[in-house]
Amino acid sequence: MSLVGKPVYHIHDVNKIQFGNVIDEKMENTWKWVKVNWKNGTPTNIYNAPTVNTNSNWYRIDTIQVFNPNSMIYDLQKL
């Protein structure tokens, strides 16, 4: 299943969250990687995790979360 066009988020530096859309995907070894167009700034990689490349915007699939923005907004409005 292609993730291109899907909204995603990535949590980094313990308490920061970035939102974007998948613009490309590839397989590397046995892992799917996605390239993301970040909408509210590019995540950092202060821990030098090998599962993200902030220079090229490629992120291993287990480091991002596909989500439904409308559902998230609905849940946040309950706060």
Place of tokens 């980094």: 12
Domain containing residue 52 = 7-76
**What tens digit of pLDDT does each residue of 15-25 get?**
999 999 999 99
Distance of alpha carbon 69 from the chain centroid? 13
Which runs of E-coded beta strand occur in 29-63?
31-38, 52-53, 58-60
Once rounded to an integer, what is the mean pLDDT over residues 37-64? 91
The answer to whether residue 1 is domain-embedded is no
The answer to whether residue 65 is domain-embedded is yes
Cα 31-29-50 angle, rounded to 5 deg: 65
**CA 70, CA 49: separation in Å to the nearest integer?**
30
Supply 44's token pair: 């950092």
Supply 20's token pair: 């974007």
The answer to whether residue 2 is domain-embedded is no
| pTM higher than 0.95 | no
* Domain count of the fold of the chain: 1
The answer to whether residue 72 is domain-embedded is yes
- Enter the DSSP assignment of 32: E
